[in-house]
Each structure stands twice: as structure tokens, then as C-alpha cells.
Amino acid sequence: MLRLRLATVALCLGGAASAQAQALTPEALARKNSCMACHGLVHKQVGPGFAEVARRYRNDAALAPQLAAKIRNGSVGTWGRLIMPRQPQLSEDDALVLARWVLSQPPPPP
């Protein structure tokens, strides 16, 4: 009986943690996963600003899954010699949320 109660509590806590992670805004998800350590919202820091990425790929509606794969698997050469490190801790769903958010950024000012 005690095992059943502990299992129920564990399931409830796990579900609460999942719901909390899903409640994060895309920007909060980016901050939580240290994306902002290398990327600015508008301008380049180490890597390009999110607005620069959005401007480059604005006309490619099918790009979000490809960008999500680059976020999870890393890449090199897309923006020069910069290396985008892998982010395997991100789920595929979270990487897709981030990719769609990045691609939705308004273009940087001239």
C-alpha cells in the first residue's frame, strides 16, 4: 500500500514538473538553456542575434524543424567559422518551440 502511495506521489510530482516546463515562454526557455549567453535578441554577441537569424530565413517556412535539429545537434559554418555547440538536454519539442520563436523575431533595425 505504501509503495502505491509513493508511486502516486511520484507521478503527481513528475506531472507537475512537466506542466511547469511546458508553461515557460519561449524566451524563458531560451534563457533557462543559456541561449542568451551566445545570442542577443537583436544583435550578434558570440553568435548571431535571433533577429538576424529570422531575417536570413524569413522566407523559408519549412525551416523550423531544420533549425531545431541544429539547436539540438550543433552546427558549424552557417555563420562563418563559429561553432554552435550541441544542446542535447533540450527535447525535440522544446527545440522546435525555440526554433519557431527565433524565426518569429522582428527584423533588426537598419
pLDDT digits (tens, 9 = 90+) for 40-50: 999 999 999 99
User: Residue 67: CB partners within 8 Å, gap ≥ 6?
Assistant: 53, 57, 99, 102, 103
| Cell 512537466 found at | 18
Q: What is the pLDDT of residues 11-25, one digit of tens each?
A: 444 444 444 456 789
As a dihedral over the C-alpha atoms of residue 105, residue 51, residue 43, residue 30, rounded to 10 degrees, the angle is 60
* Top-level class of domain 25-103: mainly alpha
Q: What is the pLDDT of residues 65-108, one digit of tens each?
A: 999 999 999 999 989 998 999 999 999 999 999 999 999 999 87
| Residue 110: predicted pLDDT | 74
CA atoms within 13 A of residue 38's CA, in its CB half-sphere: 14
| Strand extents, DSSP E, the chain | 75-76, 83-84
Domain spans of the chain, in order of start: 25-103
| Residue 23: predicted pLDDT | 74
| Residue 28: predicted pLDDT | 96
29-39: average pLDDT: 94
